Structure 1
Amino acid sequence: MGLSTAIFMPLAAMAQSAAVAIPEEKVQAVVVYGKAIDPNPNGQAGAPYKAKTSGDARHTRPLAETPQTISVVTKAAIDDSGFTDLKQILNAQPGITLGTGENGNAFGDRYIIRGQEARSDVFVDGLRDPGMSTRESFAIEQLEISKGPNSSFAGRGTAGGAINAITKQATLDLDFTRFSLGLGSDHQKRVSVDVNKAMGDSFALRANALYGDEDVPGSAPSNRSRQGLALSGLWEINKDLNLTLDYYGLRTKDQSPTLGSYLVGTVPNRVPATNVPVYAQADDFLSSNVDTVTARINWKLAPNLNLTSLTRYGQSSNGYVTTGASSGTRYDGATGTAYTTGYLDNGHTGWQDVDYFAHQSNLRWDKQLAGLKHEFILGAEYTDHKVVSGNYGLSNTGAFNCKTTAGIGTNNGYCFTNSNGVAVSDLHNLAGRTSTRRSWNQDWHVKSLALTAMDTVDLTDKITVFGGVRADHFDLSLVRRNNLTGDVTGDYSYQDTLLNGHVGLSYKINKLGMVYASAASAQDINGGEADSGTSSGYGGAVLYQNQIAGAKPETSKNLELGTKWNLLDEKLLATAAIFQTTKSDVMEGANYDTVGTFNTGKNRVHGAEFGLTGNMTDKLSGQIGVAFLKSRVLDSATATNIGKPLSNFAEKSYSAQLKYQLTDAFSVGAAARYEGQRCGGQPDTAAGFNSAGYCAQPVPAFTVFDLSAAYRFSKSLDLRVNVLNAGDKDYYTAVYRSGSFLYKGDARAVRLTLNYKM
């Protein structure tokens, strides 16, 4: 509060002495039609799938009037979908694809928005969530996906967009208690509770708790477990000032996580292997432990001046030991017989400990100047993010059962079958693999200070202009060392300042719809990916003469034309946009070492997106999205890359989630998602096409259908049934650039959820 006051108090005095006062808008009466009250302050009343406003206070206008593509998934839509992890939810959104952990970086979820890496562009309530972890939805009120470069809001990175999770907050508006009990196939169990209680006129407490456990559908004994606790306390000091204090804790562990499958054959007949057994080893794991504390201030300094301030401290610990597999020729050591079989690799490991502090203050100043209404946002942000990482030492006690080289001799490999095609009896324990955590080998640390200025101004009753600029000064240090000897192998540091902007012009056609044009920029820095270190081919630091400095920031620029229509008494939002994003000065990696080039790459993504969200009739609600995208490498240090599409890029994707209310008590739903074929390769560079034009590491297109039904027994009790992947489709979400990892989607799963509200 002291920092925020020091920065912004002079403006408070200016506002109080202003000669022109802005009349307060009248608040329309709330009419309740017998439906449950949604505690989400950003929701659209009477349309559970539609959000009216963003949870980020820097968006001063409703989403239907914001000149940018922002897709929102509300808590109601999340619940009805049956998905719980953010990776599942986002994979169902058009324009977003998933990536693999890419060998040594499998800490958690990896997202690609409009063909651009976004694994570090995940935010919680507007503050960057550093490190890679497994993220859950139990404490989320709505999920916002901003498309296009977004550095004026989010800072460094955000070349394709950003993901912002808006969390559940305590409220004085209503008391409620909600229990959910889930049981299903694959030994699924999920229990959650959401309780909000006002204590007098000034205090409120909200608590969310979660316990979940399930086998991975179709992939037992791989297992997922989730435990979480989110606490939010509100103190309304007076009508102009309130303070909220939050705690968020999550413990996730995937035991024996499966990497799914792998590719077999040669192009043009390279395809996913079929009937691949679950080869994850018994002691493999993927875990995340997260603890954060956030303090929020909302202070009405004057009738036309409001301060919002967030301060967060958090720690997380992420780690993994996974086993990959491939198929090829192996040999019987006793007879020398050659045969084709699946076989285990040597394993992949990593851990990271994340420690971070962030403070963000935003002052909104509504002001009449020269007869025009302005909505100024003046912001300051300080962050201190530190990620220390290392790996695990692996040892194998299982007996080798095949040979990697021709001829008779001692076995030295682990194979799925013997030379007669007989499967091993206990594949899960074949290697007898155990792990020991080693000391750190990388210390990555970034401090940054950012200043933001934004303005939304109505030039006429039909024309509105938005403009924003942000300056980010950062100081990066990166220490590398041999974690077996303790010898420092590299000590790199540099600092720079990034300047980015965003401008939008909208024209209100009538009270229902508007058209807009916008332009925005984003920049990313050399060494900005905490999980990558000096692995230049994965977005890590590119070095020259053992120095990290010397590279200009990668710069993305986006142009967008769109239209938005708020229909059916604001219960339905229809959107359409065409865009073009050009990314220049791309740092290219020649491999996964430090070898790479500064600012030699350039690529372009253009396309169109369409959306429909909310109530389509009195009985039919849902959200539908379609994305048509094209990508092209425009320049590269590798001449053969020019003209190719980006790796891990789907040109077409769509999703539809619909719910039909047959009676007041009974509803049915269905969802479909389609993702076009993708081609693997290094992140942020050309896809791996050979000289004949065939993709070396293809991911087939897929369409998956989900079904649901719900019955309300009373105003307090209802039951929902979800059938996920109802057709039990074998589908794949991402591929590693060698084809040895091919992430497989979950098989069919049935989920029953009983909800009780008090």
Structure 2
Amino acid sequence: MNIRSALLAASFLAVAQPALAQEELGEDTILVTTIRQAYSGDFAEREVPRSIAVIEAATLQDNNITRLTDALDLTASVSRQNNFGGLWDAFAVRGFSGDENLPSGYLVNGFNGGRGFGGPRDVSGIERIEVLKGPNAALFGRGEPGGTVNIVTKRALFGETAGEFSASYGSFDSFRTDGDLNLALGQAFAVRVTGFYENAESFRETIESERWGMTPSVGVRLGEDTTLTYELELIRQDVPFDRGIVAPGGQLDLIARNTFLGEPGDGPIEADATGHQVQLQHEFSADWSLLVGGSYRETSLEGFSTEPELAGSRQKLFVDGRSLSRQRRYRSYEAEHYVVRAELAGDFELGSMRHRLLVGGDFDRFEHSQLFLRFRPPAVSGNPSDAAANVIDILNPVYGRFPSPTPGPQTNRLDTQEAVGFYVQDQISLSDTVQIRLGARYDDVTVTSLNRTSGALQTRSSSRINPQAGIVWEAAPALSLYAAYGEGFRSNLGADAAGQLFDPEISRSMEVGAKFDLADRLTGTVALFDLTKSNVLASDPANPGFALPIGKAGSRGFEVDVNGEIGGVEVLLSYAYVDAEARADVLDPNFSLQINRGDRLINIPRHSLNLQLAREFMLGDSTLRLGSGVQHVGKRLGETATTFDLPAYTLVRAFASWQPSENLELFGEVRNLFNEEWYANSFASLWVQPGAPRTASIGIRAGF
């Protein structure tokens, strides 16, 4: 660890404490202490006509989870997708993942924050993760119909000075420090700094990564009813590009799961993110408030990679069973993302009915710059040499065997999306037990694509009103039933063979469910859902290399989420059945293979389960916490329009912590306890991501 990293780690001290949005000081006085979440309104969870799963910071800490993707594994309706060689987060909610050529979108404190190329999201500085499932697009806009992930960050707290620091060491020489420091300067000003440093090798040969980040925030109370917050995000990551292993003919056991098939000499890919968020909240009264804010985020990804060639006509592996032909690529991706929004929330009586109103608008601009260079091996029909095909022997890999090929021009373009949206939502209490939710969102989106090589510029605009509706019935004090419907759309980037940009994807989602609360100790949601999307891009049979918006897809399923305590044992249960399929006969846009109506969508298991149990024991004046969890993921399609499947897997984990005093804790965890061979995701049989074997870590956490 270098001096810069050591100083950085030593400066990260902190505490993670939940905060209320406001304190009531009297009948007419409200003291604002933190910024509330956009789009959420003032509702108890049982009043919301959709399923919500919340992953708290304490759960992340129990399992020593450091990545967003690992955290989302705790929610069964979220499944892993192709993660671009480990360079971004990719997941599907209820079977839908969005554009496979971009990272999965998510919100950060209500702002669109997942777009861009800043590398996988670390959980440092996260207070909780909300998986907002169901018909949300009419409110949030420009999202997937399966749901939206919202990350709530740890922000400056007024009136409290405290800190916490942790350090851990684990398998494959992984070292990590985390910390958080909150400084309250009086009752009107606070500063908070969270951050991490990590240096780790991997079970994958030659792979080593270095990552660090910090998210300082400032809170200023401008008056008893007005609060201003600012948050900075700085993330720097050096991670080698790794497409995983190959499984020609579906043979997943052909090579060891630690075999790296790229070139260590390519060096790491550098992924950086710098972001800013500013929000102002003003309470007009106990019933009316205004939230305005803006965000700006720059991300970049740059470096070389060597990857298996997927085209069968260029792949020598399919000839002799061991000589893997490889591409060499250079990427320089940059993105800028601006968001401005405002939201008014009100709670009032009209006639004999209570109305809880949200009215808001936002402006979103996303610029995506791509410089992509590529070398491809020649066709095997010409009997190229191993050097010409950039071959590596998968059974006896030798790195640096040939000089690295020089990639040539492939793509140089700038895509820009500008969107303006307005939304309104009103939840009306028809009686003490029945509420209805009505809302709509209007979006106007303009997409521009500039081919910087040819100078060709294309522009397409579209607009749409997306409605939503829901009903909640409190059938009993501990049981509420609900139903919801919503529509949404998301713009598609790219153009067809005639140079015309695409219409946006159109989605519709329906959900019915029940929420229960047993003795204030065990809460849960049971839901049935049905989702559809149209204008999904598919390949143009008459113009290879181009696409047409003729694809359709659907997803239906059942899920259960339970959280609480039974007999002193903490329980976290999540199960999902998801049947996601194509609903049109089209050609696969990647390999021109036939997709038939009813074919499964890639990387979506039909059955997923996560169960975790934990309990605390008193040992004199100290506290011992023990827990264990199991995750099951069913068989998944591993390559579109083929019969290649990734097998089901079941992983067991265990964790423990001992707190000998109030401010000191020792902790440890073991993942994949029984060392099962498993595969996290794939794009094709030659791009398969193996999961880690048994790993363990131990650490210490101190606070003040």
Would you call these one fold, judging by a TM-score over 0.5? yes
What is the distance in 2 between the residues matched to 1:122 and 1:247? 18
- Number of equivalenced pairs: 657
**Match 2:326 to one of 345, 348, 360:** 345
Q: Does 1:261 align with 2:240?
A: no
User: Paired residue for 2:629?
Assistant: 671
User: Paired residue for 2:429?
Assistant: 458
**Match 1:95 to one of 68, 71, 77:** 77
What is the distance in 1 between the residues matched to 2:547 and 2:312? 33
What is the distance in 2 between the residues matched to 1:91 and 1:624? 12
Does the Cα contact within 8 Å between 1:395 and 1:433 map onto a contact in 2? no
What is the distance in 2 between the residues matched to 1:328 and 1:364? 54
Secondary structure of the structure 2 residue equivalent to 1:665: strand
Deviation (angstroms), 1:576: 0.5
Secondary structure of the structure 1 residue equivalent to 2:661: coil
What is the distance in 1 between the residues matched to 2:380 and 2:16? 64
Does the Cα contact within 8 Å between 2:139 and 2:425 map onto a contact in 1? no
Deviation (angstroms), 1:607: 0.9
Deviation (angstroms), 1:656: 1.6
User: Paired residue for 2:260?
Assistant: 278
User: Paired residue for 1:559?
Assistant: 510
Q: Does 1:474 align with 2:445?
A: yes
- Superposition RMSD on alpha carbons, in Å? 3.1
Deviation (angstroms), 1:621: 1.4
Letter in 2 for 1:741: W
User: Paired residue for 1:535?
Assistant: none
Alignment of 1:314-325 (within 5 A): 314-325=297-308
User: Paired residue for 2:468?
Assistant: 502
Q: Does 1:300 align with 2:283?
A: yes
Letter in 1 for 2:580: S
Alignment of 1:40-55 (within 5 A): 40-41=19-20, 55=37
What is the distance in 1 between the residues matched to 2:376 and 2:462? 43
Deviation (angstroms), 1:500: 1.2
What is the distance in 2 between the residues matched to 1:404 and 1:279? 20
Taking a change above 3 Å as real, the CA distance of residues 197 and 416 of structure 1, as seen in their structure-2 partners, is: same
Deviation (angstroms), 1:603: 2.7
Does the Cα contact within 8 Å between 1:328 and 1:342 map onto a contact in 2? no
Deviation (angstroms), 1:732: 0.7
Unaligned runs of 5+ in 2: 1-14, 23-34, 588-593
User: Paired residue for 2:231?
Assistant: 246
Secondary structure of the structure 1 residue equivalent to 2:284: strand
Secondary structure of the structure 2 residue equivalent to 1:543: coil
Taking a change above 3 Å as real, the CA distance of residues 479 and 408 of structure 1, as seen in their structure-2 partners, is: closer
Deviation (angstroms), 1:435: 7.5
User: Paired residue for 1:586?
Assistant: 536
Q: Does 1:744 align with 2:694?
A: no
Deviation (angstroms), 1:107: 4.9
User: Paired residue for 1:595?
Assistant: 546
User: Paired residue for 1:126?
Assistant: 110
Secondary structure of the structure 1 residue equivalent to 2:46: helix
Does the Cα contact within 8 Å between 2:326 and 2:391 map onto a contact in 1? no
Does the Cα contact within 8 Å between 1:355 and 1:387 map onto a contact in 2? yes
Q: Deviations over 1:172-220 (max 9, x none)?
A: 153210001111121111111111111011111111121111112x214
User: Paired residue for 2:664?
Assistant: 717
Does the Cα contact within 8 Å between 2:582 and 2:595 map onto a contact in 1? no
Q: Does 1:377 align with 2:358?
A: yes
What is the distance in 1 between the residues matched to 2:534 and 2:381? 45
Does the Cα contact within 8 Å between 1:120 and 1:131 map onto a contact in 2? no
Deviation (angstroms), 1:364: 0.6
Secondary structure of the structure 2 residue equivalent to 1:117: coil
Deviation (angstroms), 1:392: 4.4
Secondary structure of the structure 2 residue equivalent to 1:478: strand
Letter in 1 for 2:471: L
Secondary structure of the structure 2 residue equivalent to 1:736: strand
Does the Cα contact within 8 Å between 1:327 and 1:342 map onto a contact in 2? no
Deviation (angstroms), 1:586: 3.1
Q: Deviations over 1:92-120 (max 9, x none)?
A: 431222222569xx752211222212444
User: Paired residue for 2:140?
Assistant: 154
Does the Cα contact within 8 Å between 2:525 and 2:561 map onto a contact in 1? yes
- Percent sequence identity is 19
User: Paired residue for 1:729?
Assistant: 676
Deviation (angstroms), 1:289: 0.7
Secondary structure of the structure 2 residue equivalent to 1:79: helix
Taking a change above 3 Å as real, the CA distance of residues 714 and 431 of structure 1, as seen in their structure-2 partners, is: farther
User: Paired residue for 1:708?
Assistant: 655
What is the distance in 2 between the residues matched to 1:585 and 1:595? 15
What is the distance in 1 between the residues matched to 2:19 and 2:185? 20
Q: Does 1:291 align with 2:274?
A: yes
Q: Does 1:364 align with 2:345?
A: yes
Alignment of 1:67-82 (within 5 A): 67-82=49-64
Letter in 2 for 1:477: T
Letter in 1 for 2:577: F
Does the Cα contact within 8 Å between 1:668 and 1:710 map onto a contact in 2? yes
Q: Does 1:355 align with 2:340?
A: no
Deviation (angstroms), 1:544: 4.8
What is the distance in 2 between the residues matched to 1:654 and 1:166? 25
Q: Deviations over 1:320-358 (max 9, x none)?
A: 53333479999xx9xxxx853152511344232111211
Letter in 2 for 1:574: G
Does the Cα contact within 8 Å between 2:309 and 2:327 map onto a contact in 1? no
Q: Deviations over 1:43-75 (max 9, x none)?
A: 9xxxxxxxxx99445342122321111211111
Does the Cα contact within 8 Å between 1:107 and 1:350 map onto a contact in 2? no
What is the distance in 1 between the residues matched to 2:405 and 2:19? 46
Does the Cα contact within 8 Å between 2:39 and 2:358 map onto a contact in 1? no
Taking a change above 3 Å as real, the CA distance of residues 249 and 651 of structure 1, as seen in their structure-2 partners, is: same
**Match 1:412 to one of 354, 378, 388:** 388
Secondary structure of the structure 1 residue equivalent to 2:59: helix
Letter in 2 for 1:313: Y
Does the Cα contact within 8 Å between 2:109 and 2:153 map onto a contact in 1? yes
Does the Cα contact within 8 Å between 1:584 and 1:603 map onto a contact in 2? yes
Does the Cα contact within 8 Å between 1:54 and 1:63 map onto a contact in 2? no
Deviation (angstroms), 1:546: 1.6
Taking a change above 3 Å as real, the CA distance of residues 544 and 98 of structure 1, as seen in their structure-2 partners, is: same
Relative to the length of structure 2, the TM-score reads 0.86
Q: Does 1:756 align with 2:702?
A: yes
What is the distance in 1 between the residues matched to 2:627 and 2:408? 46
Does the Cα contact within 8 Å between 1:477 and 1:493 map onto a contact in 2? yes
Q: Deviations over 1:472-522 (max 9, x none)?
A: 11121111233xxxx32x321111112212211011122222111111112
What is the distance in 2 between the residues matched to 1:405 and 1:589? 26
User: Paired residue for 1:24?
Assistant: none
Letter in 1 for 2:546: V
Q: Does 1:180 align with 2:166?
A: yes
Deviation (angstroms), 1:590: 4.1
Alignment of 1:101-116 (within 5 A): 101=83, 107-116=87-96
Does the Cα contact within 8 Å between 1:123 and 1:162 map onto a contact in 2? yes
Letter in 1 for 2:466: N
What is the distance in 2 between the residues matched to 1:583 and 1:409? 46
Does the Cα contact within 8 Å between 1:661 and 1:668 map onto a contact in 2? yes
User: Paired residue for 1:25?
Assistant: none
Does the Cα contact within 8 Å between 2:445 and 2:491 map onto a contact in 1? no
Secondary structure of the structure 2 residue equivalent to 1:650: coil
Taking a change above 3 Å as real, the CA distance of residues 469 and 594 of structure 1, as seen in their structure-2 partners, is: farther
Deviation (angstroms), 1:643: 2.5
Unaligned runs of 5+ in 1: 1-35, 44-52, 397-401, 528-540, 682-686, 690-694
Letter in 2 for 1:630: D
What is the distance in 1 between the residues matched to 2:532 and 2:654? 39
What is the distance in 2 between the residues matched to 1:63 and 1:143? 15
What is the distance in 2 between the residues matched to 1:672 and 1:443? 44
Taking a change above 3 Å as real, the CA distance of residues 437 and 161 of structure 1, as seen in their structure-2 partners, is: farther
User: Paired residue for 2:573?
Assistant: 624
**Match 2:596 to one of 635, 641, 646:** 641
Letter in 2 for 1:304: D
